[in-house]
Amino acid sequence: MQTNRRTFLTAAGVSALAAGASALQGQTEKPLRIAIIGTGHRAWAHLAILKNLPQYQVVALADPTPPNLDRAATLAPGAKTYTDYHKLLAERNDIDAVIVITPSFLHSEVTVAALNRGLPVLCEKPMATRVEDANKMIEASKKAGKPLYIGFQKRLVPATRKMHDLAAAGEIGQVEFVSANLFRGDWNPESWKYTDPKTGVATNWRYLTFTEGSAILEDGIHEIDSLNWIINGKVAHVTAAGGNNVYKDRETVDHAAIIVEYESGVKLGFDFCLFGQDTGPQARRMVIIGSEGSMMPENGKVAIRSRKGGRAAKYVEVTDNTPKSVTAQEIGSALDPETYQQYLLFEKTVRAGAPPLVNPEEAKNAIKLVLLAEKSLRTHRIMSWNDLPA
Ligand SMILES: NC(=O)c1ccc[n+]([C@@H]2O[C@H](COP(=O)([O-])OP(=O)(O)OC[C@H]3O[C@@H](n4cnc5c(N)ncnc54)[C@H](O)[C@@H]3O)[C@@H](O)[C@H]2O)c1
């Protein structure tokens, strides 16, 4: 499966894929009518982006938390609101696709329900909090014959997708060693609160292992997925150390150092820290080192240094066809043109049957890698790929 994706993407190039998708914007077809299930902070960002995409019409919203649902409704005039997504799915026959933006532990349940209604799904990352749940989503997609697209939009960061294409073209020889990190501030304190039915205690869903799965599933998984996509190999072993050095008020960790060994011998080192608020340009760092040289994003370009070429870099331009109205649009605390690009690709998947850029098997492998790291840091053991279900 991975080889097929690589062959397809090498031939087309990811940038070409996105450009092809934008050709569908001609408005000759009716807008795709979508329902959004889960209308918290991330959904508000989606809705702000969707305002720039006339090929979509948001017709329904579902969320059990009235203030969040009301806020989403103001961003999607004309959409009908539901406090129970089951009612939405049972009642509406006019929907072309469902967007799932609930807390991560509900992704599988909601996605499977939508696919069982015969609807294509764009589900936010991480795909699920357990491998078994990811498998249920893949099965439901196959059974329904409807696409499942997992929202790893950061593959579409221009420098990342350029590095993917350059690696596939052998620009730095064989990729052999990868180093990356995510240093960021704490989770949003306004996140939805999960109420434990046994105790009645309501807790930020990002603090609990049951609802978040792992802190690295919540962020850091973007980098891990993008790097897996670039490395394009099978994981053999995962080892990690981590814990709660600063935030003692939760189950989920606030830092981790992860080492991944691929069957091919490639090593990936990834550092994650949730109390690293002010690390600036070093906050999301990626260096890809191959047998013939290295590459990394630098000043909006990809810097390539040849092993034989001394310290001088060759800079490769990256292009982005996202309209200025989106690239200049600050949503929450960030710019997010990649989510715009993701909607262009999803449209192509729904209308023209294009394979999702993020194959669900690859999305499952990303969560499996992270869950193995979580298991390793809890048990102080080196994990093998088969220590979690296939
Ligand atoms: N791709 C990205 O860059 C990115 C960024 C942020 C969040 N996310 C993902 O988006 C998802 C949501 O994150 P968020 O920041 O919006 O969280 P949030 O806490 O702000 O919002 C979650 C929403 O889900 C709702 N919800 C809870 N139970 C529900 C149910 N049974 N049915 C429908 N809705 C339900 C809550 O009421 C709340 O409004 C998470 O999976 C997160 O990992 C992705």
Residue 183: what are its φ and ψ, rounded to 5°? -115, 120
Give pLDDT, residue 6: 43
Q: How many residues does the chain have?
A: 390
Nearest to 153 by CA among 350, 361, 343, 342: 342
Q: What is the mean pLDDT of the chain?
A: 92
User: For a pocket test of ligand 1, which of 47, 85, 101 has the largest count of ligand atoms closer than 8 A to its C-beta?
Assistant: 101
Give pLDDT, residue 29: 85
* CA gap 257, 262 in Å, rounded: 17
Give pLDDT, residue 282: 85
* CA gap 74, 51 in Å, rounded: 12
Atom of ligand 1 nearest to the CA of 218: 43
User: For a pocket test of ligand 1, which of 102, 191, 210, 346 has the largest count of ligand atoms closer than 8 A to its C-beta?
Assistant: 102
Domain with CATH 3.30.360.10 in the chain: 155-323+359-387
The burial of 26, by beta-carbon neighbours within 10 Å (0-12 exposed, 13-18 middle, 19 or more buried), is given as exposed
The burial of 312, by beta-carbon neighbours within 10 Å (0-12 exposed, 13-18 middle, 19 or more buried), is given as exposed
Cβ 129 under 6 angstroms from ligand 1: no
Give pLDDT, residue 316: 97
Q: Residue of the nearest CA to atom 27 in ligand 1?
A: 102
Nearest to 336 by CA among 227, 222, 208: 222
Architecture field, domain 2-154: 3-Layer(aba) Sandwich (3.40)
Give pLDDT, residue 254: 98
Q: How remote is the CA of residue 57 from the centroid of ligand 1, in Å?
A: 20
Q: Which residues of the chain, if any, have pLDDT below 50?
A: 1-12, 15-16, 18-26
- pTM beyond 0.85: the answer is yes
Cβ 194 under 6 angstroms from ligand 1: no
Atom of ligand 1 nearest to the CA of 44: 16
Give pLDDT, residue 22: 46
Domain with CATH 3.40.50.720 in the chain: 2-154
Nearest to 170 by CA among 281, 37, 6: 6
The residue with tokens 């981790």 is: 256
Cβ 160 under 6 angstroms from ligand 1: no
**336-to-42, 75, 262, 330 alpha-carbon distances in Å:** 11, 17, 31, 7
On whether the 155-323+359-387 domain is CATH 3.30.360.10, my answer is yes
